[in-house]
Amino acid sequence: MSSDSGACDALDRLFEQSPPTLGPTEVAERLGVSNKSVYTWLREGLIPGYKVGSTWFIIRDELKDTLRRGANVPRDTGPVVVINSERHEGD
């Protein structure tokens, strides 16, 4: 079993009562974030979704796969900040 099996189990439990297709409001409620955040993530392509007219649809299993791939993975864009809390003599 892989080391991330706990995260997979948690995602499965989080979405176990969800239908195969979700709307942004349902996703926001499941993840505990605002609708605005979900719409931003959809527009920016951070989570998968399909727009028909003005309505967004999210496939539950595609969202779960995306969340699994993004779990504690550093992004390769933006500045890298290294914080070193160790102080050495003479610093």
Q: Residue 12 belongs to a domain with what CATH number?
A: 1.10.10
**Residue 26 falls within a domain, yes or no?**
yes
Which strands make up the sheet holding 55-59, listed edge to edge?
Answer: 21-22, 55-59, 50-52
Strand partners for 59: 21
**Residue 29 falls within a domain, yes or no?**
yes
Tokens matching residue 70: 């993004």
- At residue 54, the pLDDT reads 94
Domain containing residue 19: 7-68
SS3 state of residue 57: strand
- At residue 68, the pLDDT reads 87
Digitized pLDDT (tens) for each residue of the chain, 91 residues in all: 444 455 557 889 999 889 999 999 999 999 999 999 999 999 999 999 999 999 999 999 999 999 988 777 555 665 555 665 565 566 5
Sequence letter at residue 47: I
CB 57 within 8 A of CB 18: no
Instruction: Report the predicted TM-score, pTM, of the whole model to 2 decimal places.
Output: 0.68
Angle at 28 between CA 27 and CA 30, to 5 degrees: 65
**Residue 74 falls within a domain, yes or no?**
no
